Amino acid sequence: MSDIIIYEDGAIVLDARVENESVWLSQKQMAQLFEVDSDTVSYHLKNIYKSGELGKDSTTEKISVVQKEGKREVKRNISFYNLDAIISVGYRVNSKKATQFRIWSTNILKQYILKGYALNKTKLQQQKLEELDKTIKLIKQGLQNQELSTKEAKAANLLYYIIKGHPFNDGNKRIGAYLFVLFLHKNGILHKPDGEPKINDNALASIALLVAQSDPIQKDIIIKLVMNMLYDGEV
């Protein structure tokens, strides 16, 4: 289990566990929560699983727990039950307390989910910044490469690395296509002598899609294809 939190309801104090977007209690803890004996909890659980109301495998988990037995501390595997099972038992013995616990646990789960989302979002943003930095370095290396002596070669590499590097959460094809066109415009190679664009909108969209779906081993072929389209200016 990942975290232990405290549930208090009057004289009742429980160490509830949170994992896999649910709250988990043992049979003994459920007995405390609903103020019944453990045999009653066990009886209701058996009926819940027997009737098919819940699946036992999806709502139970064996956890190794250290507990005091006399003067000794003994490690035993205890069955814990998730919120679905807890509430199902609660409706059979004391629905009011089950409702109180459900409200509390739902709020706790919401906090954990939002916290987890925030952490994952931060981690994802960091990963994307690293990917963007890596992509920029690749583009710089490519543009400084002596073999990329032509503007067309540099433009083709720019388009490929932005789309294929996937440094943004969304819109990599669109951003790559925009930077590609901007580069062509800034370097005076966007249009043919008659003023027509060397690559029209439909062709640009098709190229961006082709780059995105291409196998990385086809990189040189894809880049040469884009370069030839710019040289020919027939699209």
Domain-embedded: residue 48: yes
What's the pLDDT at 92? 83
Domain membership flag for residue 108: yes
Residue 169, domain member (yes or no): yes
| Residue whose entry in the numeric block shows the structure tokens 């037995």 | 69
Contact 156/227 with Cβ under 8 angstroms?
yes
Q: What is the pLDDT of residue 179?
A: 84
Distance CA 1, CA 18 (A): 7
Asked whether residue 99 falls in the same domain as residue 156, the answer is no
- Whether residue 115 sits in one domain with residue 9: yes
103 shares a domain with 15: yes
DSSP 215: -
- Domains in the chain: how many in total? 2
Look up the domain containing 40 and give its range.
Answer: 3-120
Residue 79 near residue 17 (C-beta atoms within 8 A) = no
Tokens of 105: 């646990």
Report the alpha-carbon distance of residue 232 to residue 234 in Å, rounded. Answer: 5
Residues 6+ apart with CB under 8 A from 36: 93, 94
Contact indicator for 30, 80 with CB cutoff of 8 Å: no
Q: Report the distance separating Cα 42 and Cα 46, nearest Å.
A: 6
Residues 67/76, Cβ–Cβ less than 8 Å = yes
Which pLDDT does position 231 carry in this prediction? 83
Where a domain ends, among 65, 86, 120? 120
Residue 227 amino acid letter: M
Residue 130 lies in a domain: no
Residue 167, domain member (yes or no): yes
| Measured distance CA(85)–CA(26) in Å, rounded | 10
What tokens appear for 135 in the block?
A: 């992509």
pLDDT at site 47: 92
Closest CA to 45 of 97, 82, 11: 82
| One domain for residues 116 and 163 | no
In this prediction, residue 234 carries a pLDDT of 44
State the pLDDT at residue 160: 87
Per-residue pLDDT of the chain (235 residues; tens, 9 = 90+): 455 555 556 555 556 676 666 778 888 888 888 888 889 889 999 999 999 888 888 888 887 776 666 677 777 788 888 888 888 888 788 767 777 777 776 676 656 544 554 444 555 556 665 666 666 666 666 555 545 568 888 888 888 888 887 767 667 888 888 888 888 888 888 888 888 888 888 888 888 888 888 888 888 898 888 888 888 654 4
Q: Is the dihedral of CA 57, 59, 64, 66 positive or negative?
A: negative
